[in-house]
Amino acid sequence: MRFFKFIKPFYLQNRFFYCCIGIIILFIFSFILPKAFNIVKLLLLLLGTLTVLDTIILFSAKTGVKGIRSLPEKFSNGDKNAVRLTIGNYYTFPVFVKIIDEIPEQFQVRNFSITRKLEPSSTNELEYQLRPVDRGEYYFGALNIYVTSIFGLIARRFTYDDQAMVPTYPSFIQLRKYDLMAISNNLTQYGIKKIRKIGHTMEFEQIKEYVSGDDLRTINWKATAKRNQLMVNQFQDEKSQPVYSIIDKGRVMKMPFDGLTLLDYAINAALVMSNVALKKQDKAGILAFSKKVENIVVAERRTSQMNLILETLYNVSTDFFESDYSRLYADVKRNITHRSLILLYTNFETLDSLHRQLPYLKAIAKNHLLVVIFFKNTELDTLINEPAETVQQAYDKVIAEKFAFEKRLIVSELQKYGIQSILTSPQDLTIDTINKYLEIKARGLL
């Protein structure tokens, strides 16, 4: 029993086998040169002695090396997440370590390893990045540390932190990124376009000094005469308006881009958009649908709303069935009784697919401000921009241009019926959605 306990962490290294191969070759040559036979036997004895010595110095300490894996509370989907390792060397001599962390199977990483040299009685901090592309639970296996001495003939394995689980939530890193934009009244950060404000409510807030860009129609002439400088009336923005993010989780959202499906891009954008709406004093709600409407969070402004939305989006699951827009219309009409801003995340590839659902979209738009958000096929853009060198490439390019043009026709078709739309690439989805929301707020359309 003790023998098996000893042999389990015992590993012969490649250097040992290279030495054995070299000695075997020398033994073969010693048949030609018999005088070299004794020298080869001495080399074999030396290899055996060094192997035993290497074993003694590595296994003499009960805990030669200790490793700790530090995991975040949760992973952010679609973002790089840091995993930290703390490796301590308790030997009194320098050692070389090969760290093999058993990464969750979702990453499909088969050759992960980190090699380091550790000084005697020292502690080292290491870090590596993981980018999940699916929501759910990620299980880590053991943290394996293979230690070799300067001889490098054998390795001793130490195993720590077996079976750790980290849930992967919608992109809360992206949420923090746009959080400052949400609470700012002057959104000048890169990527946020300036919106010319053409309307406001009549709820008076304060009188302030005129600055460049203020509406001249709001000048308060009495206050201007008293202060001998231009003063303007400032009005409050419309607040507490319901903003619903409706996510199509049907088969049209299964298309992958950079590892994530369009559904996951929509979930990440809906999370950020809900936070922006709450920071702007509006009510935020979500729902998802395919064959039926599920994952419903009623639009509210309570303090726990973001946590509720985050947990609900985390639990959105689908088999990518055909989406039922008639069921969506019926549920929206029954459950959303007040006029609301509805951001519908879906995808249309052809005009025919839009025309099949257009009656339901028009019916929803009668009672609510509907914004249909769908995606560009960035692979088609790449194909269109590449020069065609053969007849087949020219044919493919023409077909790609046809599909890209049809996407623009879908935008025109929606505008014809007073339905607003966003045609965006997956990586720009969040910023384009925020821009549209700010434009609607600035123009007072809701």
pLDDT tens digits for the chain (446 residues)? 555 566 778 899 999 999 999 999 999 888 888 888 889 899 999 999 999 999 999 998 888 899 999 999 999 999 999 999 999 999 989 999 999 999 999 998 888 999 999 999 899 999 999 999 999 999 999 999 999 999 999 999 999 877 889 999 999 888 887 876 555 544 444 445 555 554 555 556 678 888 877 777 888 888 888 888 888 887 655 667 899 999 999 999 998 888 899 999 999 999 999 999 998 889 999 999 999 999 999 999 888 999 999 999 999 988 888 999 999 999 999 999 889 999 999 999 889 999 999 999 999 999 999 999 999 888 887 788 888 888 888 888 888 888 888 999 999 999 999 999 999 999 999 989 998 998 888 787 77
Tell me, yes or no, if the pTM score tops 0.85: no
User: Measured in whole angstroms, how far is the alpha carbon of residue 314 from the centre of its chain?
Assistant: 13
